[in-house]
Amino acid sequence: MRLIKQGKVKDIYEVDDNTLLFHFTNRVSAFDVILPSEIPFKGEVLCRMTGFWFKILNYPNHMLELILPDKMLVKRLKIVPIEFVVRGYLYGSLYERVLRNEVQIPIEPILAAKLPEPILDPTTKFEAKDRPVTREEIVSKEWLSSYEYNMLEDVCIGIYQYMASKAEERGFILADLKLEFGRTHDGKILLADSIGPDEFRLWLKSSYSPGRKQESYDKQPVRDWLESIGYKKALEEAVKLGRPIPPPPKLPEHIVAEVSKRYIEAFEKLTGERFR
C-alpha cells in the first residue's frame, strides 16, 4: 500500500483504484494545527466510534470494513470541499462571530445557549484555514448544485437530530457536529471521513448550564488550555498578519490523560460497548 496523505489525525493509504485504508492515529489537532503531543487510545476510539455511527445512521457511507483496533477500509471518493457543521447550541466560533455581529441569531447571545432549531453552518475544506462559507458561494463555485445543497442540509440536520437524541439517552448533549461527504465515480454522494469526538462537541447533560464553558467529552479541554496560555490569540494574530504560525506547545500530562479518559468514556456511554 502507498501512503497518499497524512492528515491532521489520519494517515490515508491507497489499496487500489477504488479503495483506501484509513489509519486513525493518536495525533491531536486544534485550531487547524497539529500538536506535538498524542492522546493515548484516541485513534482506536475514533475508528470504532465512526464504525458505530456508520452502521446505524440512515444514510449511505463509504465504509467497507473495520479492521480493529484503528483501521478502516473505505470506498475512494471525490470529497466535497466543504465541512458541513450543524450547530444546536451557541458555542465556539459561532458564538465568537455572533459577538462580532458577523452572524445574526434570534436569541440573546448567551454562551452555550440552545438554538431554537439546529442550523447548518458550513465551512471550507482544503484551505489553509477553514472559513465560514455561504450557500451562494458553494453553488456559484459548483461545489454543489442548489438541489444538492438543499438535500444535504436536510440530511445533515436529520443526522444531527438523530445523534443528539441518542446522546441524550446516554446522558449527553450533542452541541454541534461536523460531517463530510464525497462523490462516487457515478455521482452518488456518500457520507465520508469520520464521526467521533474530533467531529463533535459532547457535554454532560447533568452539568449543563448556559452562560459558561461546558464540561466537554471531546477535545475541548485541549482548545481551552491552548486559549488559557495565549496560544490561540498568538495563532490568530499570526494568521491575520500573514506571519508563520507559532510552534504549538506540548500538552501537559494531566490534559493528555484527562482527554484520553474522556474519549474512552464517551465511546463506552454512546455505543454501549466496553472499550477494553
Parallel, antiparallel, or unpaired for β 123-124 and 189-192? Answer: unpaired
The pLDDT assigned to 165 comes to 98
* pLDDT at position 69 over 90: yes
Residues 212-222: what's their mean pLDDT? 93
Distance, in Å, from the CA atom of 222 to the CA atom of 12, rounded to the nearest integer, reads: 25
- Assign 75 to helix, strand or coil: strand
Residues 178-207: what's their mean pLDDT? 96
For the chain, give the longest Cα–Cα distance. 53
Residues 18-33: what's their mean pLDDT? 96
* pLDDT at position 129 over 80: no
- The separation between the first and the last C-alpha atoms of the chain, rounded to the nearest angstrom, is 29
| Mean pLDDT, the chain, integer | 96
The pLDDT assigned to 127 comes to 82
| One-letter amino acid for residue 169 of the chain | E
Output the pTM of the full model. 0.94
| Burial track 229-250 (b if 16+ CB lie within 10 A, e otherwise) | eebbeebeeeeeeeeebeebee
Share of the chain above pLDDT 90, in %: 95
Residues 20-41: what's their mean pLDDT? 96
Residues 6+ apart with CB under 8 A from 32: 8, 128, 129, 130
| CATH architecture classification, 77-271 | 2-Layer Sandwich (3.30)
Paired with 183 in beta bridges are 78, 189
How many other C-beta atoms lie within 10 A of the C-beta of residue 106?
A: 7
Per-residue confidence at 135, pLDDT binned at 50, 70, 90? Answer: very high
Per-residue confidence at 276, pLDDT binned at 50, 70, 90? Answer: confident
230: left (phi over 0), alpha (psi -120 to 50) or beta: left
Alpha helices in the chain (DSSP H): 42-56, 92-99, 135-140, 146-169, 220-228, 231-241, 253-271
* pLDDT at position 126 over 90: no
Q: For the residues of 164-213, what is the DSSP string, one character each? A: HHHHHHTTEEEEEEEEEEEE-TTS-EEEES--STTTEEEEEGGG--TTS-
* pLDDT at position 227 over 80: yes
The pLDDT assigned to 93 comes to 94
